[in-house]
Structure 1
Amino acid sequence: MTQEDTEKIVRQRIRGLRLARGWTLDNLAARSSISASTLSRIETGHRRIALEQLVAITKALGTSLDQLVEPEGNEDVVIRPEPESVSGATLWLLSRERDRRGVTIAKMRITDDRESSDPQVHPGYEWFTVLSGTILLRLGTRTIMVYPGQAAEFSTMTPHSLQAHQGPAEILTIFDQDGAQAHMPGHRHAPGRRPADPRSAE
């Protein structure tokens, strides 16, 4: 990536963050002590950005200098999940190990002949939406039917289990770290995740 490409990305980030906050150029000017006309020329590429201006803009936007000037990533952004068999269901992992949100995102296909498992309990929250079919959610003493287009969110300290009802069902689900460990104890490395080096445990 060239210096010109990096500067273009920085200008786009400045403008994008300003607009995301609903600020006009005058609003950013008041917060950064840089004139609106100068900010306009910076955003449109008609003026080079001096370091002191960049620092002032960064503080005004509530971000860090590192985030503002971070080079555009060159990694492959497309995840190509491979189906895995997990606890009688088929799972496609849709997130990477380096996901900063600390969550695992997956698509899961559950068939109605899946063996019923004991309800599980673990810290945190769980969320899923039904893509197709119907999910029978056992949550504590309740049995809840969740249909396509509907979503469910619940505390996982409540005993819970999922089953397909009258045919296969597909869901998109988000697990936090505790949920992933509880529901996918034997899963392989996620897309983009490298297997651990066994020597590292020595």
Structure 2
Amino acid sequence: MTQELVLDAVVRQRIRSLRLARGWSLDVLAARCYLSPSTLSRLETGHRRIALDQLVPIARALGTTLDQLVEPVDDEDVVIRPQRDEARGTTTWTLTRADAAHGLTVARIRLDPGPVDDDGPLGVHPGRDWFTVLSGTARLRLGERTILVEAGQAAEFSTMVPHAVRAHGGPVEVLVILDADGGRSHLLPTAAGGEG
């Protein structure tokens, strides 16, 4: 089956699924998008070609956008694969796409413990960082302060304060929300000695 036919079938299923999720009959959706119920039925079942001038009012009536209705099916965006950064001793699962809304990045990060007395360099960048500890204990350095953040706790701080987050007493897993500057500073692979 060609990619165009697969997308066509997916669009038809999306229309039907969104209609049914709202509890609407063919008559209700047809009235909202100014099509006849029989035309809408033939569109959903594949007995009629879908025209762009039909998709726009259908998308609007269903409370979605044309882009969402026709976005391609791609298995690549379904599976989140971890990325290992040996220089930082981290494994990262980026949970948002590069084009996420508002430039925010959500990621799960596993930090492995390093040498006991080695906190490494403190980094600074514009913005704010936020994280919650999923397991273990994180050691947050903010300037001269050291704060232990345990599982179930969260931290949020200005990233203009020199900072670093490390594992304390064993591996730690955190869920982070970073703005664009934080994402560049914390998630892009770095050579040894970079900010973490």
**TM-score class, shorter:** 0.5 to 0.7
Matches of 1:73 and 1:185, distance apart in 2: 24
Structure 1 distance, partners of 2:7, 2:148, is 50
Question: Is contact 1:104–1:176 with CA below 8 Å preserved after alignment?
Answer: no
Q: How does 1:174-185 map to 2 (within 5 A)?
A: 174-183=177-186
Which residue of structure 1 aligns with residue 194 of structure 2? none
Q: For 1:78-135, what per-residue CA distance to the aligned partner results, in whole angstroms no more than 9, with x for missing partners?
A: 344352223xx41223339962114373523141626224543322232323232111
Contact 1:139–1:158 (8 Å) recurs in 2: yes
Provide the residue aligned with 1:131 in structure 2: 134
Equivalent pairs, count: 183
Q: 2:170 aligns with which of 167, 171, 180?
A: 167
TM-score scaled to structure 1, two decimals?
Answer: 0.64
Cα deviation, residue 165, structure 1:
3.0
Asked whether the 8 Å contact 1:104–1:177 carries over to 2, the reply is no
Q: Secondary structure at the residue paired with 2:89?
A: strand
Measure, in 2, the Cα distance between the counterparts of 1:114 and 1:104. Answer: 29
Does the aligned pair in 1 maintain the 2:138–2:168 contact within 8 Å? yes
Please report how far the alpha carbon of residue 40 of structure 1 lies from its aligned counterpart in structure 2 after TM superposition: 5.6
Distance 1:165 1:42 in 2: 58
SS at match of 1:94: strand
Residues 76 and 57 (structure 1), Cα distance of their counterparts in 2 relative to 1, 3 Å cut: closer
SS where residue 83 of structure 1 aligns?
Answer: strand
Q: Percent identical across equivalent pairs?
A: 48
Structure 1 counterpart SS, 2:7:
helix
RMSD value over aligned CA atoms? 3.9
- Name the CA shift for 1:9/1:153 in 2 (closer, same or farther; >3 Å): farther
Partner of 1:100: 99
Paired residues of 1:107 and 1:172 also in contact (CA < 8 A): yes
Provide the residue aligned with 1:151 in structure 2: 154
In structure 1, distance between residues paired with 2:188 and 2:99: 21
Q: What amino acid does structure 1 have at the position aligned with 2:48?
A: R
Inter-partner Cα distance in structure 1 for 2:39 and 2:169: 64
